[in-house]
């Protein structure tokens, strides 16, 4: 899972920045929401990726990260109580969060200043009509009408092996998927 291993540090950093936008430095609760598998095995392991990310986040003081027991959207709304950030690692999250059955709850969470992070494929919506609203929430979005992707394998080379971020790994070939022409 080199792609996942490489992405964890970036995601943890992004989440920490997102959480700093709130007014308090008290304990922060993060809910990670995966989806069911929709790609070949070992390519987009949403639940496993959320579990690894939660483990990394929970190693930080004052952070409590948990993975939603349900895919796409929690069946028990109590899970949202006290949450500071939602993190989606799923199929197109725009379709999920902006569906008629979830939209009101989502905007209620935003009113309570709950943050929102979309990782990888969850930056998309398959319904182009939802695009402008999702872009307003996320800042940008992916849709095949205007976006594309490229899967490529390249060497991931340590620029400075003595830097702390390079501890515990060596250069390797990274198979990654790049999203192109997102709308911002």
Percent helix, strand, coil in the chain, to 5, is 35, 25, 40
Q: Rounded to an integer, what distance in angstroms lies between the CA atom of residue 31 and that of residue 83?
A: 7
Q: Rounded to an integer, what distance in angstroms lies between the CA atom of residue 183 and that of residue 135?
A: 8
Domain extent for 33? 2-180
Domain with residue 111: its CATH number is: 3.40.50
Strand bridging mode 115-119 / 85-89: parallel
Give the pLDDT confidence score for residue 69 in this predicted structure.
97
How does residue 156 score in pLDDT terms, banded at 50, 70 and 90? very high
Longest dimension (CA), the chain: 51
Global confidence as pTM: 0.80
Contact 77, 31 (CB under 8 A): no
**pLDDT of 54-96, one tens digit each?**
999 999 999 999 999 999 999 999 999 999 999 999 889 999 9
Number of domains in the chain: 1
**pLDDT of 105-128, one tens digit each?**
999 999 999 999 999 989 999 999
Q: Which residues of 71-95 are buried (b: 16+ CB within 10 A; e: fewer)?
A: bbbbeeeeebeebbbbbbbbbbbbb
Contacts of 139 (CB under 8 A, 6+ apart): 184
Token duo for residue 14:
């992004």
Burial category of 101 from C-beta neighbours within 10 Å (exposed 0-12, middle 13-18, buried 19 and up):
exposed
């Amino acid at each position: 899972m080199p792609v996942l291993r490489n992405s964890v540090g970036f995601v943890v950093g992004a989440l920490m920045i997102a959480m700093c936008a709130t007014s308090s430095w008290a304990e922060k609760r993060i809910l990670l929401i995966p989806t069911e598998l929709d790609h070949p095995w070992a390519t987009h392991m949403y639940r496993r990726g959320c579990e690894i990310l939660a483990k990394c986040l929970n190693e930080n003081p004052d952070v409590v990260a948990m993975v939603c027991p349900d895919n796409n959207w929690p069946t028990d709304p109590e899970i949202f109580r006290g949450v500071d950030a939602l993190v989606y690692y799923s199929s197109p999250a725009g379709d999920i969060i902006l569906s008629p059955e979830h939209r009101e709850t989502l905007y209620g969470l935003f009113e309570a200043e709950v943050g929102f992070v979309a990782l990888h494929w969850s930056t998309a919506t398959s319904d182009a009509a939802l695009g402008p609203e999702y872009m307003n929430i996320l800042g940008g979005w992916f849709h095949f009408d205007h976006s594309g992707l490229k899967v490529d394998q390249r060497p991931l080379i340590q620029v400075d092996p003595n830097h702390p971020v390079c501890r515990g790994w060596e250069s390797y070939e990274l198979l990654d998927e790049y999203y192109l022409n997102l709308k911002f």
